[in-house]
Amino acid sequence: MRISGSQTIGQTYGDQVSQNPAIMNTARDRSWYAVYTVPQHEKSALKQLDIREIESFLPTYETVRVWKNRQRMKLILPLFPTYLFVHINSGERTKVLQAPGVLQIVGNSRECVPLPDSEVEFLRSGFCRQRIEPYCDLVIGEKVRIKSGVMQGFQGTLVRKCNSMRFVLTFESINQHAAIHVDAEDLEPIVA
């Protein structure tokens, strides 16, 4: 029942489900969960989960990097660094947590929180694989700081984006609000 990140359910697991009613009931009890891994160990954690016969999925994307010697390399990197997904029932959580490279299953203080099946299936689809890439820019609602210029050090909330990568901020330092346009390169996110 091994299913790697590049295989689909229909190729292996689905064939077994249709032939065995006991497996079919277990499959219905399964949910997708996000798993937090050791940084830069997503692929090795995926292999360890595969060895333990845990259905898992690591969304990836292709990028081209240019090294110092000007050599171009095509790399396949995790779409969400330090995260992968597992399709398990409640009895398989221990097997997941015992895998080297796995730190925890994402959830709140009381329980692991399952993901909507539709979101993970969309990430697994062929349509998504060819067109997806990570988005690391500033997000509306994010706390930001001005890192250069006359207003260096002022903090605020990103309110909206305007034309050609300009932003409107709300400053809360004096409990008043004023909007000002700031170039994107002058902003940095505030890490909590």
pLDDT digits (tens, 9 = 90+) for 8-27: 333 333 334 445 555 545 56
Higher pLDDT, 86 or 117: 86
Domain range summary for the chain, segments of one domain joined by +: 9-131, 143-189
Q: Do 155 and 190 contact (CB within 8 A), yes or no?
A: yes
Distance CA 160, CA 162 (A): 7
Q: Do 52 and 95 contact (CB within 8 A), yes or no?
A: yes
CATH class of 9-131: alpha beta
Q: What is the pLDDT of residues 95-116, one digit of tens each?
A: 999 999 999 999 888 889 898 8
CATH class of 143-189: mainly beta
Rg (alpha carbons) of the chain, rounded to whole number: 22
- Structure-token pair, residue 36: 């937090």
Q: Do 71 and 122 contact (CB within 8 A), yes or no?
A: no
